[in-house]
Amino acid sequence: MANTITLEQQIGKGEFNEVYRSGELAVKLFNKGYSKADVMNEAYIQARIEEVGGINIPKLHSIPLMNDRYGIVMDYIPGKNMAELIYENPKDTEKYIDKLVDIQMEIHTKRCPYLIKMRDKLADRINRSDLDEDKKFELLTMLDGSPKHNKVTHGDFTPHNIMVGEDGKIYILDWNHASQGNASADVARTYLWLCLHHKEIAELYLDMFCQKSRTDKRYVQRWMPVVAGARLIKKKDGEEELLRKWVDVVLYE
């Protein structure tokens, strides 16, 4: 495989990066000044997940430094992400969400002892949030009392991070939030994201997941204050009001 990376065509854009095609490769190119440790960590997790086996992800190749910007070089997947497909074919939404749920359940069957523990990650974020000390204590107590699981969880399992290849094969992207922990918390995280950004499919998703996995909805709902509190540190425009509402559910229950 050729070593030269040329940025041929932009194929994606995130908050801190752009994604380019380079022949048979894709480069996730991070902004200048973006944490080197975070780039290495994302690539490390991707490599670990590759080793787990049975989870389809683009193969990781290298982490070059290009004009003061780090890139994660991986296989290019010809196709579209599931968010684009849902937007283009709204009548097939249920079919796509059904597939999304199947893949998420499959990922939860995997184990990877090298990943960070979800409860440590959530506790760290709650501690770093601007919630008052009483709220933090309440959320941390909830977290502490939750069942201790070690399932592989993607942590940002949304339609944008699922590539549907031209051949119909599905690949999961963007593993930097992965951890080992509780499946219901991972589902609560996806549900929260859908409530924030695609409210029209949030209930469909939660109903389908709970039905397929025979999970009582309340197991997922119990995680909402914790996952909402942990997301507050992102300080994303338009999210704060709803996140604080979810956090407060725990106080008045």
Ligand X SMILES: Nc1ncnc2c1ncn2[C@@H]1O[C@H](COP(=O)(O)OP(=O)(O)OP(=O)(O)O)[C@@H](O)[C@H]1O
Could you tell me which of 188, 210, 209 has the C-alpha nearest to residue 102?
A: 209
Q: Which stretch binds ligand X (CB under 6 A): 125-133, 171-179, 207-215, 229-237?
A: 171-179
Question: Which residue sits closest to ligand X, CB atoms considered?
Answer: 14
Among 49, 123, 163, 172, binds ligand X (CB under 6 A): 163
Tokens 């918390």 belong to 185
Q: Which stretch binds Mg ion (CB under 5 A): 43-51, 71-79, 146-154, 161-169?
A: 161-169
- Cβ atoms 186, 179 nearer than 8 A: no
**Structure-token pair, residue 62:** 């290298």
Q: Pick from ligand X, Mg ion, none: which does 50 bind, CB < 5 to 8 A by kind? A: none
Verify binding: residue 161, Mg ion, rule CB under 5 A. yes
Could you tell me which of 169, 153, 162, 146 has the C-alpha nearest to residue 222?
A: 146
**Structure-token pair, residue 95:** 């079919």
Verify binding: residue 46, Mg ion, rule CB under 5 A. no
Q: Which is nearer to ligand X, 138 or 174 (CB)?
A: 174
- Cβ atoms 122, 187 nearer than 8 A: no
Give the torsion through C-alpha atoms of 105, 107, 113, 115, to 10 deg. Answer: -110
d(CA 59, CA 57): 6
Verify binding: residue 184, Mg ion, rule CB under 5 A. no
CB of 250: closest distance to ligand X in angstroms? 27
- Give the H/E segment covering residue 185: helix 183-197
CB of 244: closest distance to Mg ion in angstroms? 25
Q: Pick from Mg ion, ligand X, none: which does 101 bind, CB < 5 to 8 A by kind? A: none
Verify binding: residue 43, ligand X, rule CB under 6 A. no
How big is the chain, counted in residues?
Answer: 253
Among 56, 127, 150, 176, binds ligand X (CB under 6 A): 176
Verify binding: residue 174, ligand X, rule CB under 6 A. yes
Verify binding: residue 104, Mg ion, rule CB under 5 A. no
Verify binding: residue 58, ligand X, rule CB under 6 A. yes
Q: Which stretch binds Mg ion (CB under 5 A): 66-74, 89-97, 99-107, 166-174?
A: 166-174
- Say what angle helices 224-231 and 118-128 make with each other, to 10 degrees: 60
Q: How far is CA 193 from the centre of its chain?
A: 10
Among 77, 126, 139, 224, binds ligand X (CB under 6 A): 77
Verify binding: residue 50, ligand X, rule CB under 6 A. no
- What is the pairing mode between strands 79-81 and 69-75? unpaired
Verify binding: residue 158, ligand X, rule CB under 6 A. no
Q: Side chain identity at 199, as an amino acid letter?
A: K
CB of 33: closest distance to ligand X in angstroms? 15
d(CA 61, CA 35): 20
Contacts to ligand X by CB under 6 A:
11-12, 14-17, 19, 26, 28, 58, 74-77, 81, 156, 160-161, 163, 173-174, 176
